Amino acid sequence: MPPVTYESPWITDEVRIFRNTVRQFIQTNFVPHQARWREQHHADAEAFTKAGAISLLLPDVSDEYGGGGGTFAHEAVVLEELARAGVHFGASVQCIVAHYLLAFGSEEQKRRWLPPMACGELVGAGSDLQGIKTVARRDGDHYVIDGSKTFITNGLHAGLVCLAVKTDPKAAGPRGMSLICVETKDLAGYRVGKPLPKVGRQGQDTCELFFDAVRVPAANLLGTVEGKGFFQMMDQLTYERLSVAIAAVATAEEALAITTRYVKDRTISGQPLIDYQNTRMVLAKCKTEAHIGRVFLDNCIDRFIKGQLDPVTAAMAKYWLTENDCRIVDECVQLHGGYGYMSEYPIARMWADSRVERIFAGTNEIMKELIAWSL
């Protein structure tokens, strides 16, 4: 049987070369530290500066602001390669925050924050509107922020938090919400909790942030007027959801590759595991589902690069591709038997690491609600 030959249509020669650089960089600089990162519940701060040095952090941001000057294809490659290597570190969040600045920041804000973010000297974190209780009260040229945020990726190293706050607590619904960029260095009243212990993705920190009468210049409001936060987030969620879907597809493909090798090596009752019909049926089904996912994803990436991906399709991609990933990885764990449950095995870590894809960036139930609104 000839091999399936398929290459994503958005891969150009230049993007292929970039992929090789990113893959080698991750293998050399990140993979050897994974056990330690997991133990300490966070990546090293220098991981950001190292990644920034090879344009891995903001590859799709214009070089005018220090970025890699590429397209979303470059960011997709970074997300895929990190997922394939099983490395979870906040590059994706860094890029998401940068795109909020690009879309809504003033020229001064972009020039101030994007270049240090691109080289990894400034780490970005973002908070969503989930159960928003944090309040920012205007006081002269400043906002005074009170409240807390939980489950914040990159919280530990974050020098810039793109924070969703209520600027008008009396306004009903989305109209009272704004995004304010909080520069955390030496900021009085700001505190970061210890990285929260998680069942997966232990090498990437998730923290609680506390704001106690924190004073932030009013000029750090994102956008020219208050009350736009909800709409700004709606505008940017397509980027975030597509990013999650990309990592999900790459993880499913890698799980399949690992498991195919494993079942060829593993012998049971004198017979390679791949020779059992059940193994072949399960893997044939997984391979088909992974390929369906890949083709759908590539269509989404292609449309996103052309500025044509709508939020409903992005929600479909986030919902279906993460569920597909979790199904495939679970089948692969089963084919590994007991070894599939041992955390030293990559497939076991993938299983634990993938699960959150269905929860964050808006739960999959919320994705289905969004899709249903379009019916």
Ligand X SMILES: Cc1cc2nc3c(=O)[nH]c(=O)nc-3n(C[C@H](O)[C@H](O)[C@H](O)COP(=O)(O)OP(=O)(O)OC[C@H]3O[C@@H](n4cnc5c(N)ncnc54)[C@H](O)[C@@H]3O)c2cc1C
By C-beta, is 187 or 352 nearer to ligand X?
Answer: 352
Tell me how far apart the alpha carbons of residues 261 and 93 are, in angstroms, rounded to a whole number: 32
Residue 240 falls in the annotated catalytic set: yes
Contact 127, 166 (CB under 8 A): no
- Choice between 73 and 152, CB closer to ligand X: 152
We find the least distance from the C-beta atom of residue 339 to ligand X, in angstroms, to be 26
Backbone angles phi, psi at 182, to 5 degrees: -105, 120
**Chain position carrying tokens 């986030």:** 318
Beta-bridge mates of residue 277: none
- Closest distance of CB 368 from ligand X, Å: 8
- The stretches of 41-106 forming alpha helices (DSSP H) are 46-53, 72-85, 91-104
> Residues 29-38: contacts with CB within 8 Å, 24+ apart?
30/82, 30/85, 30/87, 30/89, 31/85, 31/87, 34/86, 34/87, 34/203, 37/89, 37/202, 37/203, 37/204, 38/202, 38/203
Q: Which is nearer to ligand X, 63 or 369 (CB)?
A: 369
Determine which helix (DSSP H) or strand (DSSP E) holds 285, and give its type and residue range.
helix 277-305
Query: Residue 167: which of 156, 176, 158, 155 has the closest Cα?
Result: 176
How many other CB atoms are found less than 10 A from the CB of residue 32? 9
Return the number of the residue (259 or 364) whose C-beta is nearest ligand X: 364
The least CB distance from residue 136 to ligand X, in Å, is: 16
Cβ proximity to ligand X: between 93 and 274 the closer is: 93
Provide, rounded to whole angstroms, the least separation between the CB of residue 196 and ligand X. Answer: 8
Cβ neighbors of 304 (< 8 A, separation 6 or more) are 72, 238, 239, 242, 314
Residue 86: CB atoms within 10 A of its CB come to 21
Of 158 and 301, which CB lies nearer to ligand X in the complex structure? 158
Select which of 80, 81, 226, 240 is catalytic: 240
Report the residue count for the chain. 375
Residue numbers of the site for ligand X (CB under 6 A)? 93, 126-128, 130-131, 151-153, 198, 201, 206, 356, 359-360, 362-363, 365-366, 369
Residues with catalytic function: 240
